[in-house]
């Protein structure tokens, strides 16, 4: 369960060792686009030893590896797969690539006697992937999908705009594929790190459309993203009342009940439970 995922460049010790102070729900340690070709080896070694030095904590650790078609992807996996990480983020992913990654992960986990089963977040950033979103979302171990609008608009040869009408379709693809498969839809980052009101507007839109989380490319974005993707106090209060009313109804042997004149049935109760679980996880209860 995440609201915010903060990208951290993998070859930068100052950012790595401060990654956990920014209060994002997850950090994405980037071995791919944030690292130049000549430094792929440096970054890999740095991240490997950084992970060894960290203590267990609540923060979800995601590693964006290089594509498995490159000469770096497999080396990245061998360097980072351990109980210290939670998720692998796979760039330019198709269903086939995810299947391949699942195989490699299973092998490494067994070989290393790991307790954890590492999750996968494929990035939807090619036109072909967008058309395959549902198939990708169905794959084993996939806990969420990230929309990568920068690379996607490049793939289409169009301009990326702040209002984002050009990415409505891929946003919906990701949202519905994730909802149908009960995984998390993660929105593309807002790239103008100085435009605070632009970020808020983008978060509001994404949340209203049905995105569950958003990637951040600068620590200053985390607070805003967390705010927009957290359940509101109003919603939390309503959910608490629903659960309380449900307990009372059960105690009186009633299956269905009403609250504020509204009939409360199973889907509404489930929604309330989800909201409260989220609120508890994000410590806003």
Partner 1 sequence: MKIGIAGTLESNDVMMTVKESDTPKIVIESIVYDYFSKQIRDTIVSTLEEMNIKNVDVLCQDRGALDYAIKARLITAIERMEE
Partner 2 sequence: MKNQINREVPEGFRPFISSNNYHNDEYRTIPEKSKHNQIVFLDSLESAFSLLKISDGMTLSFHHHLRNGDEVLNQTAEVVKKLKLRDLHFAPSSIFPNNQILCELIQNGNISRVTANYLNGPVAKTISEGYLKNLLVMETHGGRARSVETGELAIDVAFLATPAVDKAGNGTGAIGKNACGSLGYAIPDLKYAKKVVLVTDTLVDRLEDPEFPSEYVDAVVVLPNIGEQKGIVSGTTKITNDPVGLKIARDTARLLSELGMIQPGFSMQTGAGGTSLAVAEYVKRIMQEKNIIGEFASGGITGYFVKMLEQGLFKRLYDVQCFDLEAVESYRSNKNHLAMTASEYGNPHYPKPIVNSLDFVILGATEIDTDFNVNVTTDSNGWIIGGSGGHSDTANGAKLTVITTNLIKSRMPIIKKQVMTVTTPGEDVDILVTERGIAINPRRTDLLEKLKDSKLKIMEISDLLKLCHRITGEPMAFKHGQKIIGVVKYRDGSIIDSLYQVKK
Q: 170 or 219: whose CB is closer to partner 2?
A: 219
Residue 237, contacted partner among partner 2, partner 1, none, CB below 5-8 A by kind: none
Q: 57 or 252: whose CB is closer to partner 2?
A: 57
Binding mask 44-73 for partner 1 (x = CB under 8 A): -xx-xxx-xx--------------------
What DSSP state is assigned to residue 33?
T
Of 40-48, 82-90, 147-155, 170-178, the window that binds partner 1 (rule: CB under 8 A) is 40-48
Of 37-45, 182-190, 221-229, 253-261, the window that binds partner 1 (rule: CB under 8 A) is 37-45
Residue with tokens 């498995």: 68
Q: Which residues contact 269 (CB under 8 A, 6 or more apart)?
A: 242, 243, 246
Candidates 17, 96, 128, 163: give the one binding partner 2 (CB under 8 A): 17
Cα 77 to chain centroid, rounded: 19
Q: Residues 122, 93: contact at Cβ < 8 Å?
A: yes
Provide the pairing of β-strand 257-259 with 262-264.
antiparallel
CB of 81 to partner 1, least distance (A): 17
Tokens of residue 226, six digits: 């967390």
HSE-CB of 279 using CA atoms within 13 angstroms = 18
Candidates 7, 22, 50, 190: give the one binding partner 2 (CB under 8 A): 22
Asked if residue 218 binds partner 2 (CB under 8 A), the reply is yes
Distance CA 14, CA 34 (A): 14
Which residues would be at the binding site for partner 1 (CB under 8 A)? 12-14, 17, 41-42, 45-46, 48-50, 52-53
């Amino acid at each position: 369960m995440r609201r915010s995922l903060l990208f951290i460049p993998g070859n930068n010790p100052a950012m790595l060792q401060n990654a956990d102070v920014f209060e994002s729900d997850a950090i994405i340690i980037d071995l791919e686009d944030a690292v130049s070709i000549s430094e792929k080896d440096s970054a890999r070694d740095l991240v490997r030893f950084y992970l060894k030095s960290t203590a267990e904590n609540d923060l979800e650790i995601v590693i964006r590896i290089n594509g498995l078609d490159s000469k770096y992807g497999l080396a990245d996996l061998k360097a980072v797969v351990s109980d210290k990480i939670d998720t692998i983020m796979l760039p330019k992913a198709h269903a086939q690539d995810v299947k391949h990654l699942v195989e490699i992960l299973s092998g490494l986990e067994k070989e290393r006697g790991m307790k954890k089963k590492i999750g996968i977040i494929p990035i939807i950033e090619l036109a072909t992937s967008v058309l395959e979103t549902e198939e990708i979302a169905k794959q084993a171990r996939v806990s969420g999908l990230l929309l990568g609008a920068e690379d996607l608009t490049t793939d289409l040869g169009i301009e990326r705009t702040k209002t984002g009408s050009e990415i409505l379709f891929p946003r919906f693809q990701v949202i519905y594929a994730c909802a149908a498969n009960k995984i998390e839809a993660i929105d593309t980052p807002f790239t103008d790190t100085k435009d605070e009101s632009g970020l808020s507007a983008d978060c509001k839109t994404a949340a209203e459309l049905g995105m569950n989380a958003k990637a951040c490319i600068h620590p200053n974005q985390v607070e805003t993203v967390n705010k927009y993707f957290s359940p509101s106090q109003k919603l939390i209060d309503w959910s608490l009342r629903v659960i309380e009313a449900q307990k009372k109804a059960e105690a009186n042997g009633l299956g269905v009940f009403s609250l504020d004149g509204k009939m409360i049935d199973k889907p509404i109760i489930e929604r309330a439970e989800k909201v409260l679980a989220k609120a508890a996880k994000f410590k806003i209860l």
